[in-house]
A and B are shown apart, each in its own frame.
Chain A
Amino acid sequence: MILCKPTGQRLTVLFLSLFAISIVNISAQDVAAGKALFNGKCAACHNVFKKLTGPALAGLEQRGKWADHKEILAWVNNPAAYMAKDPYTQGLKADFGSMMTGFADVTQKDVDDIVAYINDEDAKKKSGGDTVKTAEAAPDTSNQNALIFGIISLILGIVALILMQVNSSLKKMSDDAEGIVRPEPVPFYRNKTYIAMASIVFFVFGGYMVAKGAIGLGRQKDYQPEQPIFYSHKVHAGINQVNCLYCHGNAWESKQAAIPSVNVCMNCHKAITTYEKGPKLYKDNGDEVNGTAEIAKLYQYAGFDPNTPSKWDPSKAKPIEWVKIHNLPDHVYFNHSQHIRAGNVQCQTCHGEITAMDEVKQMAELSMGWCINCHRQTNVNFNYDSTKGNKFYSIYEKFHNDIKSGKMDSVKVKDIGGLECQKCHY
């Protein structure tokens, strides 16, 4: 808990600041909308700076007819029809081996937003700054403080003990001097007061530790099992910026985030057959990992031969037995879509800096206290006025009145019953 709390705060600050930026700045909103659209629709095949299944999109306005966004829209809406009369896109197909998937639902505004986002990314790269990284956390000092306090207490305790011994010896000496006969003082380890105090301390401390240990049984914070394939989230979600929902799209709709099926992996890995340009990968024990060999493992499961891609039969694929990391007890109901859609919680809030992890490690404790804490602190996407926020909350008349009259400034999850047992246990 102590470890994860600052991370949570840091991220909350980060998201709140992003949120604030997006409200204030209209052009930024376009960029933000463009980013969402890009991640949702384009990122599967395109990167801004790198060639993937499709070309890198930075500077696209300088290519083909793309300076005119209407042309882009026509192409995106119906690639087959557009390509028939456009030599540039015919060339693209020749280069990349396949035609782009059409998105009939994309509008002109969407295209403008996406291009705005691409240009923004491009500009950021050129200026060398990355705004996202500005929100660095303050160094974590709470642990150090605890240590210092502990050491001081211990030293003070020892000093007190010595002083008491000295006191007792001095008293004995003064008694001797005054001629009062007293029994020989018992050494402190046989002194009943000391023993009693020590037992009480031991009992309290031991009891505390036992209780704490017992409560923590079965929890698996920092659990990082070895997976059948060395799948690096850092490479995918971090360096290549594949959107979380591209693979874990289930999280958007369902209680389970679900592990992607082999065919989802193969969407990209039909084309990406080797691991070459990324940073070197290492296991926990320091062994280097051969990325290309790991991709080959995927091909084993998929029954895919990169030398004869056209012969691949996806129906022969076998599922991959991953080791489950995040486990909740059966009596807990957790719903991913509730949190990411209704609650606007980012994946990283609970799963940590996934984009920096090679093999995934359980960041959070996943204990009830941890859940409850977040429910106490998190604001609901409440519709404080009629224009913003989720309209579901419009029925909370009392809170609306309280906000108007200034009694309340925000509605937390706990205010709408987020701490009630049956929200998660039924």
Chain B
Amino acid sequence: MSQKKYWQSFGEVNDSENFQKKQQDEFREELPFEGFDDKGLIDAKAPRRDFLKYLGFSTAAATLAASCKVPVRKVIPYANKPENLMPGVAKYYATTYVQDGDVVPVVAKVRDGRPIKIEGNELCSFTGGGTSARTQASVLDLYDSHRLRFPIHKTGSGKEAKYEEVPTFEQFDKLVGEAIKNAGGTTVLLTSTIVSPSTKEIIAAFPGLKHVQADAVSYSGMLLANEACGFGRKLPSYDFGAAKVIVSLGADFLGTWLSPVENAKGYATGRKIDEKNPSMSKHYQFESYLSLTGASADERFTHRPSEEGAVALELLNALTGEASTRPGIKKVAEDLKANNGAALVVSGSNDKNVQVIVNAINNAIGAYGKTIDWSKPVNYRQGIDSDFAQLLSDMEAGTVGSLLVYGANPAYTSTDAARFTAALGKVKVKVSFSERMDETTELCDFILPNHHYLESWGDAEPKAGAVSFLQPTIYPLFKTRPYQTSLLYWAGNNTDYDVYFKNYWVAKLGGEDAFNKVLQDGIKEDAAVAASAGSYSAAAVAEAVAAIGAAKKSTGTEVVLYQKTSIGTGTGATNPWLQELPDAISKATWDNYALIGLGMAKTLLGLDLVNGSEKESNNYEYFPQKPVIKLTVGKNEVELPVLVIPGMDANTIAVAVGYGRSINLGRTAAGVGKNVYPFSSYNGSTVIYHADVTAADAKKKEKIAQTQIHNSYEERIEVVRETTLATLKKYPTVIPDYRTHLESTFGKSKDGTTTDFRKEGTLYPQHDQPGIKWGMNIDMNACYGCGACVVACHAENNVPVVGKSEVLRYHDMHWLRIDRYFVSDEKDPNQLKGVVFQPMLCQHCDNAPCENVCPVAATNHSSEGINQMTYNRCIGTRYCANNCPFKVRRFNWADYTGADSFPNNQDQELVGKLDPVVFQMNDDLTRMVLNPDVTVRSRGVIEKCSFCFQRLQAAKLEAKKQDRPLKDGDAKTACQSACAANAIVFGNVHDSSSAIAKTRKENANRGFYVLEQLHVLPNVSYLAKVRNTDELIEPDTHNAAVAAEEKAGSTEKKAEEAHH
């Protein structure tokens, strides 16, 4: 077998590029297949014999294609191996996720020169190593094939426009420099919020440059209100962990408001329960639609979006004892008063007057200096809407000669994009530093794409006294340049930004060693100082009260705009992982839609989901086709499909922004959803994100790809356990009672002596775990459904993206999903009591039903308690998925990853049409994000959560290399390390000192396993969700469910026994 130079044709010998291309086609021309028609197999034009011929041929061809060709593989080492680089060993670099003012200190995992995974930076005191879904997904943006790849000069306009590459940066600098000089007028830099101190210095040093910051979703109202209240134009740090009572007036502080990771970390500390002395913070939410944050609230009250001022005002008045007819106000006010100094009120309104009232409330309840800290003002949002309005008029007046745009995208996000576009036409020189061809960049003449943050040097100051640093983790993939370098050059300072940045910090920190230290740590925080109360002034309150009182009362239907945790203001729209991440509440992917309440569904669409016929509601729930409504605000019309959810205000329609992007942004963003930014309006001071709307049935249907309806638990409600704090206090064992009951009933041995449910509940032998036994615990009280874990799982485990069409066919591939359960009055689903989020992943059952049914033993149990899935052994019967009570197994219906040996498996005509995004995920650039330690699955195999087995193996190997036992915390799963709320604990349950063993022991009264009556013995335990309300659920009610279950359980049991 030696001397391998194989060839089959002369084309192969010469190996020309054309030939290689042709080689990729299995068949050189169209095959003479004729489709079968309705006539049946025998009468068809290609009858049975031909069919057999084709079958024989294809089997033979497949055998040949798959096996006989053993290619000669080359292995190419470095010419000069960098000293600190070890192929196959991951390196970790501290850097910072920065996106339009959002700052999350992170650590990038770099494997063989490619960043492949983002982890939170645990050295950061305020995020504590937490991340968000968008942070986790940001690594995929780096490899986005739709990034701009070189400096561009646009000539012509409209359809005639030509985008030409400018060969060198020098030429580009010359072109732009001359253009700016010739343009005259003022030069304006329009950006989203800039958090980098060194960049701010560069901008300040640019002669004659006017800097305008405009945020896609503005926080001007808060900034201006704080200024009016004497704090200055700043935003304070909020400490949700210190608050015993949290009142949110429409602020989605866990999902999108200011710094959700930081907020969630604090919030989760207050929501964790010490069982010896059960207590937790109380969270009230006033809002118009069911937000992610509202879903976690203990008590929710809904109101019209236009009433946000009235609600705040009534709450303020109620604090001084004034009566209010609005539900909840009195109770909340009393609770706030009772917890003076340990309460916090936040508002998501962008109306200055509302925020002034909220400040007055916070002052009244002693929040300043306690839960609100003015010693560390945050820099996350700095844009002032009136500045942008002024810029717009200046542009229209023609006084702006040159406009440099970075981060901001007003041609998409502004209230009146057409006006901005027209005004931009009057600007002579338009320069964009955008990484992508977004809506504003399309209109610019000069485009110099910025680096991705993982390619950049830089700094970010999220709050006073804390600086997080960026360092490159990969050489720039494309001919891009930091926008700061351009600003430096064009201001006549011929320094590159990386040099400038280094000099800036070496001087500040007093030496290179100190600089290297902060780069290594990624974050530099000043010593903690006592919280400051600031200097509150009530001067503006009277004016605000008057303004709110005078506001027009709305009576019709209203629309409110919100952001999704995944897409945000629209920056996540180009990211396939984020598009495929199901929304926490609606569980919908790849779309925006109109969220409406049950009442509106009835009045608007005649859809009665409560009292209507079963067929009616089934039709709505079962089929992805949802009725479409037409929303009209002023001149702007948008047609959107509806999703009916409980907990909505009766007169409110909620729609997410960030969709309906330009086709130039690429295959992922294009054609997904509709843009609703035009529904926002500028009230002369700030942008308002709600409006009166005319809604009408559009008499048609559109498909929405939801995920949660895909599987059913066959009415086994015991999968999720939830109670109230009052119940838990009165009946501490209400949750474990069920297990006690099962143990005493089914755990008896034949002679009745032992009560070992684990052993006696099954006919199967026990698995031995001589060494480690892995286990996971998920605290459903801490989980708030953000989805960071789902995206982290995507990134860590090469989970494929399938696109909308496949999600619609129930082919979604998430290994980890977050199930959302509404808790409501039985008779009135609209009376929402709460929402429970349950992260659901493979439970790694010790008595796994999937393992018994596999005909080829491709799934079996390991000696460490893991339910293993062996892809190369799987033949795709899907018996295991059918037999899984939790429906966590996923089948590769198509070749989503391009991993198959047969290129035909991605042939759209043979195997069905897949969305373009699947092919985007398959191109060589995007595939650089794949984790090389995890197999990329091919078509026709089952896959599922592996407890991040590659990480466990790596941790064990490291311990072996260091000749020591495994330590708790050595092995962390991707979902665990992504979670900002620390809801997930993982480790070796055999180690009694491990966090997992302790968590299970200390939370015995809340701990449960899903569907315990099935005796599948999961290795994932949950802590029951507890709502902090006074409602007392009598154990009888709990037991009613138990009794029903038991009945079902015992019949099943009998059936099972009969089977054996």
Which residues of A line the B interface, CB within 8 A?
A: 214, 217-218, 220, 222-226, 250, 253-256, 258-264, 284, 301, 314-315, 317-324, 327, 329-331, 333, 335, 337-338, 341-342, 361, 390-399, 415-417, 420-423, 425-426
Q: Is the CB of B946 within 8 A of A422?
A: yes
A259 nearest in chain B by CB position: B77
Residues in B neighbouring A253, C-beta threshold 8 A: 86, 89
Residues in A neighbouring B86, C-beta threshold 8 A: 250, 253-254
Q: Is the CB of A320 within 8 A of B77?
A: yes
A361 nearest in chain B by CB position: B2
Give me 20 A-to-B residue pairs in the complex whose CB atoms sit less than 8 angstroms apart, sorted by A's number: A217-B67, A258-B87, A261-B80, A263-B81, A319-B76, A319-B77, A323-B75, A324-B73, A329-B872, A331-B871, A335-B953, A342-B961, A394-B965, A395-B771, A395-B965, A415-B770, A416-B770, A417-B864, A423-B953, A425-B873
Q: Knowing A225-B3, A330-B936 touch, does A324 contact B75 (C-beta < 8 A)?
A: yes
Q: Is the CB of A250 within 8 A of B2?
A: no
Q: Is the CB of B75 within 8 A of A421?
A: no
Mask, B945-981, CB within 8 Å of A = 1, is: 0100110010011011101111000000000000000
B857 nearest in chain A by CB position: A421
Q: Knowing A262-B80, A331-B935, A422-B870 touch, does A217 contact B963 (C-beta < 8 A)?
A: no
Residues in B neighbouring A223, C-beta threshold 8 A: 1-2, 4
Q: Is the CB of B68 within 8 A of A392?
A: no
Least CB distance from B951 to A in Å reads 10
Q: Once A and B bind, how many residue pairs between them come within 8 Å at the CB atom?
A: 173
Q: Is the CB of B866 within 8 A of A261?
A: no
Q: Is B52 an interface residue (CB 8 A)?
A: no
Contact of B863 among A263, A264, A416 (CB under 8 A): A416
B63 nearest in chain A by CB position: A214
Least CB distance from A303 to B in Å reads 9
Q: Is B78 an interface residue (CB 8 A)?
A: yes
Least CB distance from A113 to B in Å reads 20
In the complex the two chains form, what is the Cα distance from A327 to B959 in whole Å? 28
In the complex the two chains form, what is the Cα distance from A101 to B592 in whole Å? 66
Q: Is B145 an interface residue (CB 8 A)?
A: no
Q: Is the CB of A392 within 8 A of B81?
A: no
Contacts beyond the supplied A254-B89, A392-B959: 8 A-B pairs with Cβ under 8 Å: A319-B79, A391-B965, A396-B771, A398-B768, A417-B863, A421-B870, A422-B866, A426-B868
Least CB distance from B651 to A in Å reads 52
Q: Is the CB of A342 within 8 A of B960?
A: yes
In the complex the two chains form, what is the Cα distance from A226 to B961 in whole Å? 36
In the complex the two chains form, what is the Cα distance from A81 to B966 in whole Å? 44
Mask, B1-20, CB within 8 Å of A = 1, is: 11110000000000000000
Q: Is B542 an interface residue (CB 8 A)?
A: no
Q: Is the CB of B80 within 8 A of A224?
A: no
In the complex the two chains form, what is the Cα distance from A38 to B949 in whole Å? 38
Q: Is B933 an interface residue (CB 8 A)?
A: yes
Least CB distance from B683 to A in Å reads 56
A418 nearest in chain B by CB position: B863
Q: Knowing A284-B2, A390-B960, A422-B868 touch, does A256 contact B87 (C-beta < 8 A)?
A: yes
Q: Is the CB of B770 within 8 A of A226?
A: no
Q: Is the CB of A392 within 8 A of B956?
A: yes
Least CB distance from A157 to B in Å reads 33
Q: Is the CB of A258 within 8 A of B88?
A: yes
Residues in B neighbouring A361, C-beta threshold 8 A: 2
Residues in B neighbouring A333, C-beta threshold 8 A: 933, 935, 950, 953
Q: Is the CB of B74 within 8 A of A323?
A: yes
Residues in B neighbouring A393, C-beta threshold 8 A: 771
Residues in A neighbouring B899, C-beta threshold 8 A: 330
Q: Is the CB of A321 within 8 A of B88?
A: no
Q: Is B493 an interface residue (CB 8 A)?
A: no
Mask, B764-782, CB within 8 Å of A = 1, is: 0000101110000000000
Q: Is B393 an interface residue (CB 8 A)?
A: no
In the complex the two chains form, what is the Cα distance from A415 to B960 in whole Å? 17
Q: Knowing A262-B80, A337-B957, A426-B946 touch, does A255 contact B862 (C-beta < 8 A)?
A: no
Residues in A neighbouring B956, C-beta threshold 8 A: 392
Residues in A neighbouring B862, C-beta threshold 8 A: 417, 420, 422
Q: Is B507 an interface residue (CB 8 A)?
A: no
B936 nearest in chain A by CB position: A330
Interface size on B, residues (CB 8 A): 57
Q: Is B550 an interface residue (CB 8 A)?
A: no
Q: Is B990 an interface residue (CB 8 A)?
A: yes
Q: Is B416 an interface residue (CB 8 A)?
A: no
Q: Knowing A323-B73, A416-B770, A425-B872 touch, does A222 contact B67 (C-beta < 8 A)?
A: no
Q: Is B934 an interface residue (CB 8 A)?
A: yes
The 7 closest A-B pairs by CB, nearest first: A254-B88, A422-B868, A421-B870, A342-B960, A256-B88, A261-B78, A317-B79
Least CB distance from B1045 to A in Å reads 33
Q: Is the CB of A262 within 8 A of B871?
A: no
Least CB distance from A342 to B in Å reads 4
Contact of B4 among A225, A338, A425 (CB under 8 A): A225
In the complex the two chains form, what is the Cα distance from A249 to B956 in whole Å? 21
Q: Knowing A331-B872, A391-B963 touch, does A255 contact B88 (C-beta < 8 A)?
A: yes
Q: Is B806 an interface residue (CB 8 A)?
A: no
Q: Knowing A250-B87, A250-B88, A254-B89 touch, does A263 contact B80 (C-beta < 8 A)?
A: yes
Q: Is the CB of B78 within 8 A of A338?
A: no
Least CB distance from B998 to A in Å reads 17
Least CB distance from B688 to A in Å reads 52
Residues in A neighbouring B537, C-beta threshold 8 A: none
Q: Is B279 an interface residue (CB 8 A)?
A: no
Residues in A neighbouring B858, C-beta threshold 8 A: 421
Contact of A391 among B73, B936, B964 (CB under 8 A): B964
Q: Is the CB of A261 within 8 A of B79?
A: yes
Mask, B348-382, CB within 8 Å of A = 1, is: 00000000000000000000000000000000000
In the complex the two chains form, what is the Cα distance from A264 to B936 in whole Å? 33
In the complex the two chains form, what is the Cα distance from A141 to B45 in whole Å? 62
Contact of B868 among A254, A256, A421 (CB under 8 A): A421
Contact of A420 among B80, B768, B771, B863 (CB under 8 A): B863
Mask, B60-100, CB within 8 Å of A = 1, is: 00000001101011111111110000111100000000000
A419 nearest in chain B by CB position: B863
Residues in B neighbouring A218, C-beta threshold 8 A: 67, 70
Q: Is B991 an interface residue (CB 8 A)?
A: yes
Least CB distance from A293 to B in Å reads 19
Q: Is the CB of B68 within 8 A of A416?
A: no
In the complex the two chains form, what is the Cα distance from A117 to B481 in whole Å? 57
In the complex the two chains form, what is the Cα distance from A258 to B76 in whole Å? 9
In the complex the two chains form, what is the Cα distance from A220 to B768 in whole Å? 38
Q: Is B1039 an interface residue (CB 8 A)?
A: no
Q: Is the CB of B73 within 8 A of A327?
A: yes
Q: Knowing A255-B88, A284-B2 touch, does A392 contact B964 (C-beta < 8 A)?
A: yes
Residues in A neighbouring B866, C-beta threshold 8 A: 422
Q: Is the CB of B871 within 8 A of A425?
A: yes
In the complex the two chains form, what is the Cα distance from A224 to B81 in whole Å? 26
In the complex the two chains form, what is the Cα distance from A398 to B770 in whole Å? 6
Q: Knowing A324-B74, A392-B966 touch, does A217 contact B88 (C-beta < 8 A)?
A: no
B990 nearest in chain A by CB position: A395
In the complex the two chains form, what is the Cα distance from A250 to B81 in whole Å? 11
Contact of B72 among A222, A224, A323, A330 (CB under 8 A): A323
Q: Knowing A254-B88, A425-B935 touch, does A261 contact B871 (C-beta < 8 A)?
A: no
Residues in B neighbouring A416, C-beta threshold 8 A: 770-771, 863
Least CB distance from A54 to B in Å reads 22
Q: Is B860 an interface residue (CB 8 A)?
A: yes
In the complex the two chains form, what is the Cα distance from A250 to B87 in whole Å? 7
In the complex the two chains form, what is the Cα distance from A301 to B72 in whole Å? 21
B2 nearest in chain A by CB position: A224
Residues in B neighbouring A217, C-beta threshold 8 A: 67-68
A266 nearest in chain B by CB position: B80
B5 nearest in chain A by CB position: A226
Least CB distance from B77 to A in Å reads 4
Mask, B851-876, CB within 8 Å of A = 1, is: 00000001010111010111111000
Q: Is the CB of A426 within 8 A of B80?
A: no
